[in-house]
Amino acid sequence: MNQVAKVIVDVPARQVDRPFDYLIPTELLEIVQVGTRVSVPFGNRKVQGFVVAIQSEADTDKLKTIDAAMDIVPVLNQELLELGDWIAAETLSFRVSVYQAMLPAALRAKYEKYFIRLDESDEELEALFEGAETLDFKKAEQNELLPALKRYLHDGEIEIAYEVKNKAVKKKAKVVERLASVERIDETIQDLPKNAKAKARVLLFLAEQTNATLPLSELREKTKASASTITSLEKEGLIRITEQVVGRDPYKGRQFEQSEPLALLPAQQKALDAILAARSAETFLLHGVTGSGKTEIYLQSIAEVLEQGKEAIVLVPEISLTPQMVERFKSRFGEEVAVLHSALSHGEKYDEWRKIERGEAKVAVGARSAIFAPFENIGIIIIDEEHESSYKQEENPRYHARDVAIWRAKRYGCPVVLGSATPSLESFARAQKEVYTLLELPERINQQVLPKVEVVDMREELRSENRTEFSVDLLEKIKERIERKEQVVLLLNKRGYASFVMCRDCGFVMECPNCDISLTYHQAGNRMKCHYCGHEEQVPSNCPSCGSEHIRYFGTGTQKIEESLTKLIPEARIIRMDVDTTRTKGAHEKLLTRFKNQEADILLGTQMIAKGLDFPNITLVGVLNADTMLFLPDFRAAERTFQLLTQVSGRAGRHELPGEVVVQSYAPEHYSIRFAKEHDYLGFYQHEMRMRKRGAYPPFYYLTLISVSDQNERKAIQTIQEMSRYLQTKLTEKSLILGPVPSTISRINNKYRYQCMIKYKVEPELKKRTKDIARSLSKRTG
Ligand code: ADP
Ligand code: ZN
Ligand code: ZN
C-alpha cells in the first residue's frame, strides 16, 4: 500500500484552491506528515504546498510524487489547519494564503525562481547556462534569454524550479558543555599549579552552573578566560565545545525584577473569579476605565492557567506593545513569555515562535498574528484594547483576531477575555445581549479621579486672531507645568490629516499621476509621496499650474508643531515621536525612556503616544486637533474619536498628581467630544447606537463591500453593475444594496475603482453568492 498526501499547493488561484494528491516517496514516509510543507511538481513547475491529510491508497500509478520535504517537523498542527480552512471560508480567501499568514514571516517561503538544465549534452544550452547546472530566472530575463529558454522548456530540456529560500537564518553559536563531574573538577583544581589561576577560575565557574551548557561568549566574559585556557581545558577532556543553534532573545540581558501578584480590589476579584470559574468557552468583556487594574487581572488569570499546565495568548495592539507592557508580563512569568512583535527582525520573531512550538514558552504576548501561536493546550486568550481596528487584517485574508480567538477558545473550551476602557460598539452590544459576559471595573485604582477635560473652541481662537495651533488656554497651562517641573503630552491626531503641498495663489494641489489622491509631503528630502502606489517626486519650487513661488507645504505635521511651539515657549524641552523619529529599531523605546527620566517637558506625537504610557509626572494632556477624524467618510468616525480622546485622557494623572486634559476642536458640540469630556462611555454608547440604527450600520446591519478595479474604466463600471444586478435578484428584500458608486479613492495605480455596499441583517446566501461572483470573475479573467 502506498501513502498518498493531500496537498494544498501554493498557487493562489480559485481553480486550484483544493487538495491535490501526491505519492509520498518511500524515503520521505517518515518525514512527510500532516502540516509539513513539501515541494511538488505542479504543471510544468515545482511549487511549495502544505500537506493537509495523508491516506492509504491502493492504485497510485498515475500520481505524481512529492519531490522534497521543506520541513523536518510539521509547521502547522491539525487544529491550525482546520482553523485555516474556517478562516478561508469565512473571509473568501485561498487556503494557502491563510496557512502562510499563520506562519512567522521568516518561514513564509520566498521563491527563488530559476532554470535547471536537464539535457547535459546540448552545447548551446551549456553556453546559455555558462556551464552551470542552474540559471537564475532574473538573470536570464536581464540577458534577454527568455525566448530561447522558452523553446528549451517546451522541448523538456530544461525545467523551471521555484526554490524556497528560508529567510530566517538560524543563528549558531559556540557553547561549552561541562564533561567532568564536580568531584573531578574539584580534584583538578587541587592539582593545578599555582600559576594556573585562569584555569581554576573557569573550572570553578563551570562547577557552579546548574545548566549543563552555556554560551562560550558568556563563559569568557564572566571568567575573563583566554582562548588558550579554554582550548587546553578542552584538550584535557574537561569540557567540550560545540556549535548549537541558539535562540536570539531580543530581551536578553535585560533584567526583569520578579513581580508578585497584588492583593486585588473587590471589583477586580469579582472579575477574576468569574473568568476562572468559566468551565467552557465563554467570552468576557472586561470594561474598565484606564488605570482600573485590567492588566493585573490578566496576569492573575494567566498565573492560574499556567498552574493548570495550560498556555495563554495575550494580544495587545502593535502600538501599545511597548517595553513597559512587555516588562509587566516578563517580570511576572519570566522565561515563559514569548513576545511576537513586528519591531523584531524576522529572525527574532522566528525564534520566539519556535520557543512556543517547542513548548519552552507558555505565554505568547503579541500583536494580531500572535493569535496563531502554535500552542496545543490553550487555557485562556486575552485581547487587550479589544476595540482597536488593528485586530482586523486589512489585506487578505481579512480575518479579525477576535473571531479567531473565539474559534480557538471553543476548540479548547477556554475563556476569552476582551478588555477595553472603550469597548467597540459591537462587543458592548453583544454583552448587553448576554452573548458575552460583562465584567465592569468602574473605578480607577486608589479612587484617583479621572482627569478634568476642557474643550476649547478653536473657531473662537481664530476670531480673536490667534493663528497658531495652540489656544491661549493650552499654552498657559503648558507654561505652568514647565514651571512646576511637571510633564505634558501633546497629541496631534494624524488620522484624516493630510500634509499636502498647495499653491497659495491658485489653489493647485499636487496629486499622484496614478491615483486620484493628493501626494503627501515628507520632510526628509523635501519629497512628495503617494501612499498608495509609491510614486515619489520632488517638491517643485514653482507652481506647475500658475508659476507662482508661493507653493508650499500645507497642513500640520508634528515637525511643524514642534517648530512653532519652540517659538512660543523657547525654554520648553520637547521630544517628538512620530513615524520619522521612530523609524530605527529601538528608537521608540529610547525616546520614551528619555521622557520617563524627565529629560524633556513635552512629549509631542501622533496616535502612537495615546496608549500605554504610564508616567507619574504627566499632569497635562493636550489634544491639538480632536476632530479631524470626524470628517472622514467612515461610519466609525465618531466611535474612533471618542476612543482616542478617552485613551489619551487616560494618560494624565494616573498617580498622585491630578491630571488635566485640554481638547482643541472645531466641532466642540459634536457628541463624541461631549461624551469623552464627561468620561461617559454608556452615554456615548446609547447615543451612537441610535445613530447606527438610523443609518442602518453595524451592529444593527452587517456590511459587505464589493469592489472592482480595472485599468479600463468602462469595464470596471460594467462589471460592478453586473454584480449589483445579480445580487439584487438573489438577496432577500430586506437587504440594501448601495451603489454602485466610485470608491472613495476612485483610482489607485491607474486602476479605476468602483464599489457597492450591501447592508443586511440575515443573509444566509450572501457568502455563497459572493463566492459565486468571485469564481465567475476569475474564470473570465482566466
Ligand atoms: P489598566 O490595565 O486597566 O489600565 P493597570 O492594570 O495598568 O490598569 O493598573 C493601573 C495601575 O494600578 C498599575 O500601576 C497597577 O500596578 C496598579 N494596580 C492594579 N491593581 C492593583 C491592586 N489591586 N492594588 C494596587 N495597585 C494595583
Ligand atoms: Zn499656482
Ligand atoms: Zn499613487
Taking the C-alpha atoms of residue 497 and residue 606, their distance in angstroms, rounded to an integer, is 11
Domain end (from 121, 140, 166): 166
Residue to probe by mutation, ligand 1, list 314, 445, 448, 651, most atoms within 8 Å of CB: 445
Closest ligand to C-alpha of residue 267 is: 1
User: Within a 10 A sphere around the Cβ of 272, how many other Cβ atoms?
Assistant: 20
Q: Is residue 80 part of a domain?
A: yes
Q: Does any domain span residue 522?
A: no
- Examine residue 650 and state whether it is found in any structural domain, yes or no: yes
Q: Which residue has the CA at smallest separation from atom 11 of ligand 1? A: 291
Of 269 and 708, the structure prediction assigns the larger pLDDT to: 269
Q: Are residues 220 and 119 in the same domain?
A: no
CA of 268 to the centre of ligand 1 (A): 10
Q: Is the CB of 300 inside a 6 Å radius of any atom of ligand 1?
A: no
- How close is the Cα of 265 to the center of ligand 1, in Å? 10
The three grid cell numbers given for residue 520, joined into one nine-digit string = 503627501
- The answer to whether residues 461 and 563 belong to one domain is yes
222-260 as b/e, with b when 16 or more CB fall inside 10 Å? Answer: ebebeeebbeebeeeebbeeeeeeebbebbeeeebeeee
Distance 56 CA to ligand 2 centre (A): 74
Binding residues, as ranges, are: 503, 506, 512, 515, 530, 533, 543, 546
Which atom of ligand 1 is the closest one to the Cα of 384? Answer: 2
For the ranges 165-179, 211-225, 355-369, 426-440, the lowest mean pLDDT is seen at 165-179
Q: Domain check: are 570 and 670 in the same one?
A: yes
Q: Are residues 230 and 159 in the same domain?
A: no
Same structural domain for residues 145 and 283?
no
- Pick the residue whose CA is nearest to atom 14 on ligand 1: 291
Task: Give me ligand 3 centre to Cα 528, in Å.
Answer: 11
Specify the 3-state DSSP secondary structure of 736: strand
Assess whether pLDDT exceeds 60 at residue 166: no
Ligand 1: residue of 264, 294, 295, 611 to mutate (most ligand atoms within 8 A of CB) is 295
Q: Across residues 485-489, what is the average pLDDT?
A: 93
Ligand 3 center to residue 512 CA distance, Å? 5
Residue 240 lies in a domain: yes
Domain harbouring 230, CATH code: 1.10.10
312's CB contacts (< 8 A; 6+ apart) are 302, 305, 306, 362, 363, 364, 378, 379, 380, 381, 382
**Whole-angstrom distance, CA of residue 762 vs CA of residue 600:** 55
| Chain segment 587-614, per-residue pLDDT in tens | 777 888 899 899 999 999 887 777 667 7
User: Does the C-beta of 268 come closer than 6 Å to ligand 1?
Assistant: yes
Pocket test of ligand 1: the residue of 296, 332, 613 to mutate, having most ligand atoms within 8 Å of its CB, is: 296
Whole domain around residue 672: which residue ranges? 452-498+555-692
Residue 220 has pLDDT above 80, yes or no: yes
For residue 292, the ligand 1 atom closest to its alpha carbon is 3
Q: Which ligand is the nearest neighbour of the Cα of 520?
A: 3
Clarify whether residues 287 and 371 are in a common domain: yes
The CATH number of whichever domain residue 359 belongs to comes to 3.40.50.300
Q: 368 with 51: CB under 8 angstroms? A: no
Q: Which residues surround ligand 2, an ion (CB under 5 A)?
A: 503, 505-506, 508, 543, 545-546, 548
Identify the domain boundary among 402, 420, 441.
441
Q: What is the mean pLDDT of residues 703-709?
A: 82
Please report whether residue 55 resides in a domain. yes
In-domain check, residue 525: no
pLDDT band at 513 (very low <50, low <70, confident <90, very high): confident
Q: Are residues 102 and 9 part of one domain? A: yes
Instruction: Work out the pLDDT band at 244, boundaries 50, 70, 90.
Output: low
For residue 94, give the CATH number of its domain: 3.40.1440.60
**Structure confidence at residue 252 as a pLDDT band (50, 70, 90):** low
Instruction: Give the separation between CA 361 and CA 376, rounded to whole angstroms.
Output: 12
Residue 674 and residue 586 share a domain: yes
- Closest ligand 1 atom to 289 CA: 3
Residue labelled with grid coordinates 485604582: 445
User: Count of domains in the chain?
Assistant: 6
**H helices then E strands: how many in the chain?**
24, 32
* Residue 655, all three cell numbers: 498617580
Average pLDDT over residues 684-708: 87
User: Which atom in ligand 1 lies closest to the alpha carbon of residue 290?
Assistant: 4
CATH code at position 732: 3.30.70
Residue with CA at minimum distance from ligand 1 atom 18:
293
Q: In the listed set 71, 86, 108, which residue is the last one of a domain according to the structure?
A: 108
| Res 117: pLDDT | 83
pLDDT (tens digit, 9 = 90+) per residue, 745-757? 778 888 888 888 8
**Domain assignment present for 513:** no
Tell whether 405 and 420 lie within a shared domain.
Answer: yes
Rounded-to-integer distance, Cα 392 and Cα 520, Å? 25
Ligand 3 centroid vs 644 CA: distance in angstroms?
A: 29
**What pLDDT score was predicted for residue 521?**
76
* Ligand 1, atom 19, residue with closest C-alpha: 293
d(CA 485, CA 542): 46
C-alpha distances out from residue 243 to 173, 235, 532, Å: 5, 17, 46
Taking the CA of 292 as reference, the closest ligand is 1
**Residue stretches of the annotated binding site for Zn(2+):** 503, 506, 512, 515, 530, 533, 543, 546
pLDDT at 49 over 90: yes
What's the pLDDT score for residue 113? 64
> For ligand 1, is residue 374 a contact (CB within 6 Å)?
no
Same domain, 673 and 662: yes
Query: Coil, strand, or helix at residue 704?
Result: strand
Q: How far is ligand 2, taken at its centre, from the CA of residue 502, in Å?
A: 8
Same domain, 20 and 92: yes
- Does residue 680 fall inside a structural domain? yes
> Do residue 283 and residue 356 come from a single domain?
yes
Residue 242, pLDDT score = 77
Going by alpha carbons, the residue nearest to atom 17 of ligand 1 is 293
